A and B are shown apart, each in its own frame.
Chain A
Amino acid sequence: MISDEALIIEFQRGSREAFDELFARYREPLYGFFRRRLATKDRAEDLAQETFLAVIRAAVRYEPRAMVKTYLYGIALKLLAAERRKLSGNEPQIDDDHEPAEDSPSDNELWVRQALEKLDSSEREILMLREYEQLNYAEIGELLRLPVNTVRSRLFRARMELKSFLEPKRKAQSRTRSSAQGEAKS
């Protein structure tokens, strides 16, 4: 499989096929990136598209020393920040009426989303980049301009906080299940 970096260099030389391949590889991840962070599906699609348009406009400036993945998420983070600035004061970033999934989400999913909202924004971003975008610590550090040790410690804090937010809900769920089982047996 051709690497992302080789593809973008090919695209710089004028290969349309190389761009198609990059688009195929990153359209879903970029859409997911925006979808998890924004309230509406349409806006997430628009911004994912904007990311690719920015890649086309700035293709000549891409340098092989940066990984394509971090390059794309770097553009995406900037677009997201601009979007949030635009939205700030007008409407909440995540609207409860607009659930990301079309099907009604499970209790667990709702709890996770609510718990994520309670986290510190910087810690939440690190956690989401790690879990959803599957970036390693160094890539997260490069994107957010943070030392790797800071990324690690913030990630740990975020996970521990998330755990503490979810713990009571899990216990309540297990109690409900056990009582339901008890009723069924009787």
Chain B
Amino acid sequence: MSKSNHPIEQEELMAYLDGELATNRAVAAAAHLEHCAECQELAADLRKLSQEMMACEVEAVESSSEIPDEIVAALEKWKKEPKKQASIRRRWSMLFTPRKLVFAGGSAVVLVLILSFFSFSALRPVPMARFSREGAKLEGYYRSHGSMPKAVAPPPSPNAYADLDGSLNGNMAPGIVGQHVTRGREAESISEGDEINTSIREVPTAPMIARVAGITLTTKEFDRTRASLEEILKRHSGYLGDLKVNAPAESGRTLTATLRIPAPQLESALSEMKKLGRVEDESQGGEEVTQQYVDLEARLANGIHTEQRLTEILRTRTGKLQDVLKVELEIDRVRGEIEQMQAEKKELSKRVAFATLNTTVKEEYFAKLQGTPPSTGSRFRNAAVDGYNTVVEGVIEVGLFLLSAGPSLLLWVAILFFPARWAWKKLRRKFAEPDLPSAS
């Protein structure tokens, strides 16, 4: 029996017989049942089943009117117990009535929303002077209380932002911020006790900055500088993102590397690197990713919540196979998004925890004196070889041209040959005929 043939489904008919159908559907069911033989048969079957089940009686309990001794004893004991506890509990239960709980829950949600709004406001970019003061205070607090909490990204060094302060006119703009540091400026190092933080807590309180710096050095001792570079990297618990060494024949070698250094140790690593050679260029910048991180966090939480709800639906609801498959597909999609967001979050945390230091080391090149020039015989021989090569190359080029353009040339010659010959003959005849005198 399908809905296309019957206005009510079989389940609805059963619910109608059980008195569990909504009034409007019950009216429709009653009307349909009056004239549908198939539904009447089903209703009769269902009623018969109920009757058969009810026919299975159990024997009566012995002495059903008497209360067993155990229960009487328990009642006596319960009666003797002071009712103070019960009255207190009742009072508590009166205090926490469902209505009051709903009201309290609603108030708590509103309060949390207001607090969240202020928290987000607090996360917005603040004037740099204020930020520097607060950053210094926070750092001082952490230093006085031992190491920084593991789950919190350490506040950036106030000095790093003090440099930025001048160029940005006291305000830190959201998005990419950066500036060129004048050569030779000393950067203050961060205390050595700072820990490397690879994980970021759920809601960051300090701005999260992904720091990027660049340095170009020129050195006379290339190999030694490279070894020192690796040593500095090791000392600061950093790692090598990318390395490329270029060694052209008549020029100095160049090393280009991307180093990933724990953000708090960037300044000290930079100052050590400056000692390796002559600094040609230096730059520092930072991208504030707090908003991006918070957004990602919120989207991730929503995704997880959606996945849980879908899984719950799949677990508890029954329905058609098609609906189940749809829910499973939706779960697959949501899971994919969650994994992508988790990867983004991890990458973002890594960018904040480890600063990127683009390093270029150039070797100072000293031109070497050439040896004796080649002999005349070898120069003649080289010239002959070059000439031969040129001839062979020319023949090959012509052959290649004919092979590639030949077919199309032949086609055009075949097309244009007869019109051209006709035109040529006509022209020749015209010029060959003598001027005849007029008939008059």
Residues of A within 8 A of B (CB): 12, 14, 16, 19-20, 23-24, 27-28, 31-32, 35-36, 41, 45, 48-49, 52-53, 56-57, 59-61, 63, 65, 100-102, 105-106, 108-109, 112-113, 127, 130-132, 136-137, 146-147, 149-150, 152-156, 159, 162-163, 166
The listed residue (A14, A109, A127) touching B55 by CB distance below 8 A is: A109
Contact digits for B351-377, partner A, Cβ 8 Å, 1 yes 0 no? 000000000000000000000000000
User: What are the residues of chain B within 8 A of A14 when measuring CB–CB?
Assistant: 79, 83
Minimum C-beta distance from A20 to chain B (A): 7
Count chain B CB atoms within 10 A of each CB in A14, A60, A105 and give the residue with the most. A60
Chain B count of residues within 8 A CB distance of the other chain: 42
Interface contacts (Cβ under 8 Å), in number, total: 108
Task: Across the interface, name the chain B residue whose C-beta is closest to A103.
Answer: B59
Whether A149 and B18, one on each chain, are in contact in the complex, defined by CB atoms closer than 8 angstroms, is no
Minimum C-beta distance from B83 to chain A (A): 6
Question: Which one of B62-70, B336-344, B400-408 is at the interface?
Answer: B62-70
Give bound CA distance, A136 to B317, whole Å.
Answer: 19
Whether B317 and A149, one on each chain, are in contact in the complex, defined by CB atoms closer than 8 angstroms, is yes
| B10 in the interface (beta carbon within 8 A) | yes
Whether B318 and A150, one on each chain, are in contact in the complex, defined by CB atoms closer than 8 angstroms, is yes
Give bound CA distance, A53 to B68, whole Å.
Answer: 10
Task: Across the interface, name the chain A residue whose C-beta is closest to B86.
Answer: A60
User: What are the residues of chain B within 8 A of A19 when measuring CB–CB?
Assistant: 75
User: What are the residues of chain B within 8 A of A100 when measuring CB–CB?
Assistant: 56, 58-59
Give bound CA distance, A153 to B12, whole Å.
Answer: 10
The listed residue (A49, A59, A61) touching B70 by CB distance below 8 A is: A49
Whether A152 and B11, one on each chain, are in contact in the complex, defined by CB atoms closer than 8 angstroms, is yes
Whether B64 and A27, one on each chain, are in contact in the complex, defined by CB atoms closer than 8 angstroms, is yes
Minimum C-beta distance from B25 to chain A (A): 12
Whether B67 and A23, one on each chain, are in contact in the complex, defined by CB atoms closer than 8 angstroms, is yes
Given contacts A65-B98, A109-B55, contact A28 B61 (CB under 8 A): yes
User: What are the residues of chain A within 8 A of B68 when measuring CB–CB?
Assistant: 49
Minimum C-beta distance from A158 to chain B (A): 10
Task: Across the interface, name the chain A residue whose C-beta is closest to B60.
Answer: A28
Q: Could you give 10 example pairs across A and B, Cβ below 8 Å? A: A31-B58, A32-B58, A45-B62, A52-B71, A60-B89, A108-B55, A109-B55, A112-B56, A127-B53, A155-B14
Give bound CA distance, A28 to B10, whole Å.
Answer: 34
Whether A101 and B58, one on each chain, are in contact in the complex, defined by CB atoms closer than 8 angstroms, is yes
Minimum C-beta distance from A99 to chain B (A): 10
The listed residue (B59, B64, B71, B79) touching A101 by CB distance below 8 A is: B59
Whether A147 and B317, one on each chain, are in contact in the complex, defined by CB atoms closer than 8 angstroms, is yes
Whether A159 and B46, one on each chain, are in contact in the complex, defined by CB atoms closer than 8 angstroms, is yes
Whether B56 and A105, one on each chain, are in contact in the complex, defined by CB atoms closer than 8 angstroms, is yes
Given contacts A20-B67, A49-B70, A159-B49, contact A56 B75 (CB under 8 A): yes
User: What are the residues of chain A within 8 A of B55 when measuring CB–CB?
Assistant: 106, 108-109, 112
| B201 in the interface (beta carbon within 8 A) | no
User: What are the residues of chain B within 8 A of A152 when measuring CB–CB?
Assistant: 11, 14-15, 20
Count chain A CB atoms within 10 A of each CB in B57, B64, B85 and give the residue with the most. B57
